[in-house]
Amino acid sequence: MKKLFYIFIISILASCNHPQKIDGIWFSAYTLTDNNEIMPLSQKTLLEFKNDTVYTIRFGDLSTGDLNLIIIDTSIYTLNNSVLQIGNHTMNIIYKADSIVIKHKDSKEKSILRRLNSHWKDQQFKKKEFIGSYIISSKNYNDSVDFINDSLLIFTGEYNINFPVNKWKIINYGGFNFMNIQNQFFPLLVLKSSTGKKMVFECPIQENVEFTFTQTEKISQQNNLIGNWNEIKISVPKPIPPLMDINEEDIYYKLIFDKDSLLVKHMGREKKMKWSLSSDGKRIYFIDKIFTDSGSWKVLELSEDILTIRISKNSGFNKEIVYLKKQN
């Protein structure tokens, strides 16, 4: 009887020391502070565990500002009794089927990894389908965006007002299609389903949080802008800036829209720019200066003879609402 007991104990000890394996592709979701507050990560990172190797995939290099770069590092890992060692780094973890909690030695903070659902693999889509305007809807977030081309998009809603233009890219890794909007504050999204004019993405940071992109019909308002527009003088006149030898009339905006170019007269100066209107009619943008704070104007109102725009200035610290009337 004692012999059987010892064999049982030895078998348990042997199983406890047997190396365990992690498999699949995991998303580095967030950090949990010692006060149990969720802190999103600025670096977008995946980890793929395969055999005894872990691949760390980072989207974008925040140190250089190159958000289009993909960096893949490889390391050997072992897992014994909830102790994970990756290279020379050792950490205690809680390993579940769909999540890994990493406990840091020198801090009470914890890092959370989430497994990507295998049902999201091999979702079919055509990149050209993204061109045009979409409504983005999610839990506690609604916005609109216009995909200008296969590498640039512009937010047209009430978020990202001062710098609304971002690069974007669809990245396939391990059979998953990821939407990478190259803004460190916008999460990496994984394509969950694609049906007609609707794309559903999962946000790996939070469980069961979806971002639905629904395509909208193009609004043909570009022809309404063509012509001459003069700023409407309000009851309180604009002050003339000091040290500027200009007339009162020069303070007010005068816009001359042609089919492809816009002539702006303001503060005694003139500049001519290429212009376009987003497919949803919510932003006028200037492709040659698209990444500057003056690279687009938010359209607040556009009718046959009235145009109201919001212009951001000084990196978003100032804004100006301009009311214009079309000249006959």
The pLDDT tens digits of the residues spanning 189-223 come to 999 998 878 999 998 777 778 999 999 988 878 88
Nearest residue to 274 via CA among 284, 306, 265, 283: 284
Please give the structure tokens belonging to residue 172.
Answer: 């396939």
- 224: phi then psi, degrees, rounded to nearest 5: -65, -25
The mean per-residue pLDDT over the stretch 76-84 comes to 93
- What is the model's pLDDT at position 125? 75
- 3: phi then psi, degrees, rounded to nearest 5: -60, -45
The mean per-residue pLDDT over the stretch 57-80 comes to 84
- What is the model's pLDDT at position 230? 96
In angstroms, how far is the first alpha carbon of the chain from the final one?
A: 106
From the number of C-beta atoms within 10 Å of its C-beta (0-12, 13-18, 19+), residue 23 rates as exposed
- What is the model's pLDDT at position 19? 60
Task: Give the separation between CA 324 and CA 254, rounded to whole angstroms.
Answer: 8
The mean per-residue pLDDT over the stretch 74-81 comes to 94
Task: Give the list of residues 6+ apart from residue 28 with CB closer than 8 angstroms, or none.
Answer: 41, 43, 44, 45, 46, 47, 111, 113
Give the pLDDT band (50/70/90) at residue 94. Answer: very high
Q: SS3 for 154?
A: strand
Task: Give the separation between CA 296 and CA 72, rounded to whole angstroms.
Answer: 35
DSSP string, 196-261: TTEEEEE-TTSTT-EEEEEE-PPP--HHHH-EEEEEPPPSSPPPPPTT----GGGGS-EEEE-SSE
Please give the structure tokens belonging to residue 36.
Answer: 């149990």
Domains of the chain: 18-115 (2.40.128.50), 120-215 (2.40.128), 222-326 (2.40.128)
| pLDDT of residue 7 exceeding 60 | no
Please give the structure tokens belonging to residue 231.
Answer: 């700023």
| pLDDT of residue 289 exceeding 60 | yes
Per residue in 238-261, pLDDT (tens digit) is 777 776 778 888 889 999 999 989
Task: Give the separation between CA 17 and CA 19, rounded to whole angstroms.
Answer: 6
